[in-house]
Amino acid sequence: AQSVTQLDSQVPVFEEAPVELRCNYSSSVSVYLFWYVQYPNQGLQLLLKYLSGSTLVKGINGFEAEFNKSQTSFHLRKPSVHISDTAEYFCAVTPMNTGFQKLVFGTGTRLLVSP
Residues engaged in binding other proteins (CB under 8 A): 4, 32, 36, 41-46, 49, 51, 90, 92, 99-108
Question: Between residues 45 and 80, which has the closer beta carbon with respect to other proteins?
Answer: 45
Distance CA 56, CA 50 (A): 8
Q: Shortest gap between Cβ of 58 and other proteins (angstroms)?
A: 15
Residues 6+ apart with CB under 8 A from 88: 37, 38, 39, 108, 109, 110, 111
Distance CA 16, CA 22 (A): 19
Question: Between residues 62 and 95, which has the closer beta carbon with respect to other proteins?
Answer: 95
Question: Between residues 17 and 58, which has the closer beta carbon with respect to other proteins?
Answer: 58
Q: Shortest gap between Cβ of 57 and other proteins (angstroms)?
A: 13
Distance CA 59, CA 13 (A): 20
Question: Between residues 1 and 115, which has the closer beta carbon with respect to other proteins?
Answer: 1
Cβ neighbour number for residue 107 with a 10 Å cutoff? 12
Q: Shortest gap between Cβ of 16 and other proteins (angstroms)?
A: 28
